């Protein structure tokens, strides 16, 4: 009889091969968004479709199922949180999901979404939803087929099957419940700051900020908080993202606007948070669940923490503001740190999600979550998306998008087939606040450390308590292990009220 350790090593070998192929596809995806000439899009779609199909074939080999069966009663699973037990558990979960999907569907989703992203970019630049609508219709049909093929729990809905891809174990009903609780706290806070007599001078952020200096400043800040540029790089794209290809190679992207400081700087901090999570995963576990992020919600907790809880804090700018004034003397030379800090924390309903303030950001996510559920269920047709979007936006924010580019065409996610992804952003905000409270309790005087430019204690704490675990715990269990409590909207609402009410004097 073959020893369990031998069976386990064969299983890991198969999984790593599929992961390596996926990493190759990620490089091609990154290149498509950064340096690939426009004329290469159709060929790139065929390349990525082929790689997706082969990776799916490798990751669903019958031999993997046989190896998992042989390990079912093995002592390697006895300790629930051991390396071997966690890997076996998560490999089985992914294998069971993947093997339900026909290779034809996997390849077609990859091909269509690669082509669609090009057409989305063109439609967005022309603010023409009708130009993208046929592609969205195809994608919705493919994602409905995926949901039906994968399946979902009794009493659930098709969207659950898509959400589970990004936030394993989550379902629409539970997410809707926690979003409703968060919304009850956000609306009164938003009403209070909108009616406050004290308001920030946001024109500070639209002065002239030369792009070359923005790039230098963003890179300096990213390196200071802990992103390792010997194992990563920063490039320009239309829609910022982070790609971790594996040990020693993590790519960040951002976009610059000479007359809007926040876009590139906070976008760079955001993607750096993702990047530091990727760089903090155990290198020797690459290709296995223990070398992979828990969920996109947990991933987002890292980016939102560094972008907002650190990057928009007064302590952070105690350290960085003199550097900003030196780099941008014309824009900031006579502006006080308090005025600048108030400006970067301005709460103003706005159209673009990635530029939204922290109070309104989650309302952007709730809108997308509800529309996605309606699209997948068939309650909303693709042709009606602009009207549905604008109506809901007007109701929630009190302003109406002037065109499709600042409305339903602003995000890349639908063109990439990432339905089910958006809720992880708001979940990430809640995870981030809960983790940050725990970090402050364990580390000590965290705010003084940030003001002194010492970001390593926080990064070390995150590496120890979150990054190095990989998928040892599910997202919900990780929150309890790290904080001692289940996920709650309360840490986030406390953090928002504690920061914004004093700023606005309400």
**Active site residues per annotation:** 271
Three-class secondary structure of residue 233 per DSSP: strand
Count CB neighbours of 77 within 10 A.
18
- Residue that the structure tokens 């909108």 belong to: 194
Euclidean distance between CA atoms 457 and 472, whole angstroms = 23
Helices 158-166, 358-377: crossing angle, 10 deg rounding:
130
Contact 466, 284 (CB under 8 A): no
Contact 397, 367 (CB under 8 A): no
Helices 358-377, 490-504: crossing angle, 10 deg rounding:
140
Of 462, 464, 382, the residue nearest 116 (C-alpha): 382
Euclidean distance between CA atoms 366 and 362, whole angstroms = 6
Task: Please tell me the number of Cα atoms within 13 Å of 67 on its side-chain side.
Answer: 26
Q: How far is CA 290 from the centre of its chain?
A: 19
Count CB neighbours of 14 within 10 A.
18
What's the 3-state SS for 181-229?
Answer: HHHHHHHHHHHHHHCCCCCCCHHHHHCCCCHHHHHHHHHHHHHHHCCCH
Euclidean distance between CA atoms 25 and 19, whole angstroms = 10
Contact 74, 9 (CB under 8 A): no
Of 280, 266, 342, the residue nearest 310 (C-alpha): 266
Euclidean distance between CA atoms 209 and 212, whole angstroms = 9
Euclidean distance between CA atoms 59 and 289, whole angstroms = 13
Euclidean distance between CA atoms 375 and 381, whole angstroms = 6
Rg (CA), the chain: 23
Contact 296, 431 (CB under 8 A): no
What's the 3-state SS for 272-295?
Answer: HHHHHHHHHCCHHHCCCHHHCCCC
């Amino acid at each position: 009889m073959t020893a369990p350790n031998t069976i386990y090593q064969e299983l890991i070998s198969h999984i790593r091969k599929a992961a390596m192929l996926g990493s190759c596809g990620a490089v091609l995806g990154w290149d498509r968004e950064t340096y690939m000439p426009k004329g290469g899009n159709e060929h790139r779609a065929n390349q990525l479709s082929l790689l997706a199909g082969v990776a799916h074939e490798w990751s669903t080999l019958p031999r993997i199922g046989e190896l998992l069966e042989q390990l079912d009663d093995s002592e390697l699973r006895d300790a629930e949180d051991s390396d071997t037990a966690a890997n076996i558990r998560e490999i089985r979960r992914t294998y069971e999901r993947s093997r339900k999907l026909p290779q034809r569907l996997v390849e077609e989703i990859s091909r269509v979404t690669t082509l669609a992203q090009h057409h989305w970019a063109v439609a967005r630049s022309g603010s023409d939803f009708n130009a993208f609508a046929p592609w969205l219709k195809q994608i919705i049909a493919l994602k409905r087929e995926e949901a039906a093929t994968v399946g979902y729990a009794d009493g659930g809905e098709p969207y659950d099957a898509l959400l589970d891809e990004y936030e394993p174990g989550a379902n629409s009903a539970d997410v809707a419940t926690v979003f409703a609780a968060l919304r009850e706290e956000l609306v009164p806070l938003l009403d209070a700051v909108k009616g406050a007599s004290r308001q920030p001078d946001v024109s500070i952020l639209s002065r002239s900020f030369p792009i070359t200096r923005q790039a230098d400043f963003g890179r300096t800040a990213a390196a200071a908080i802990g992103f390792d540029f010997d194992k990563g790089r920063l490039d320009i794209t239309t829609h910022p993202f982070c790609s971790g290809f594996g040990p020693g190679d993590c790519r960040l992207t951002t976009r610059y606007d000479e007359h809007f400081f926040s876009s590139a700087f906070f976008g760079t901090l955001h993607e750096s948070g993702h990047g530091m999570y990727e760089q903090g995963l155990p290198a020797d576990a690459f290709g296995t669940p223990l070398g992979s992020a828990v969920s996109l919600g947990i991933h987002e907790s890292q980016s939102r923490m560094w972008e907002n809880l650190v990057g928009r804090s007064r302590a952070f700018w105690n350290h960085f503001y003199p550097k900003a004034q030196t780099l941008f003397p014309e824009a900031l030379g006579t502006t006080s740190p308090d005025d600048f800090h108030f400006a970067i924390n301005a709460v103003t309903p706005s159209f673009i999600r990635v530029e939204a303030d922290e109070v309104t950001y989650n309302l952007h996510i709730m809108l997308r979550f509800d529309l996605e559920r309606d699209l997948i269920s068939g309650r909303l047709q693709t042709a009606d998306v602009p009207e549905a979007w604008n109506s809901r936006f007007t109701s929630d924010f009190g302003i109406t998008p002037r065109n499709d580019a600042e409305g339903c065409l602003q995000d890349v996610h639908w063109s990439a087939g990432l339905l089910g992804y958006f809720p992880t952003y708001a979940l990430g905000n809640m995870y981030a606040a809960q983790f940050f409270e725990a970090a402050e309790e364990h580390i000590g005087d965290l705010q003084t450390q940030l003001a002194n430019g010492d970001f390593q204690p926080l990064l070390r704490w995150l590496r120890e308590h979150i990054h190095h675990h990989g998928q040892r715990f599910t997202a919900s269990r990780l929150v309890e292990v790290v904080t001692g409590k289940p996920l709650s909207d309360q840490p986030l609402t406390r953090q928002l009220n504690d920061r914004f009410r004093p700023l606005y004097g309400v």
